[in-house]
Amino acid sequence: MKENVGNTDMAIRIIVGIVLLAFAVIEPAANWWGWIGLIPLVTGIFRRCPAYYLIGTDTCGTAKQG
């Protein structure tokens, strides 16, 4: 699996993931929403998004043209 998450996309995913995880710690009643933050955090850190493979998207600019 090659990288398909670009720099801006990666930064947004990591920030959103951290915010959601912090929300899970701060607001225990909404705990399960915060754990969803693991998905963008992990995909941002590893720069690989399985959903992007399924739809053929690449935000890091390495996709073949033509």
Per-residue pLDDT tens for 9-66?
A: 999 999 999 999 988 888 777 677 788 999 999 999 999 999 998 998 889 876 554 4
pTM of the model: 0.81
Q: Is 16 helix (H, G, I), strand (E, B) or coil?
A: helix
pLDDT for the residue numbered 44: 94
pLDDT for the residue numbered 62: 62
What are the structure tokens assigned to 61, written together?
């600019």
Q: 5 with 43: CB under 8 angstroms?
A: yes
Q: Domain boundaries in the chain?
A: 1-35
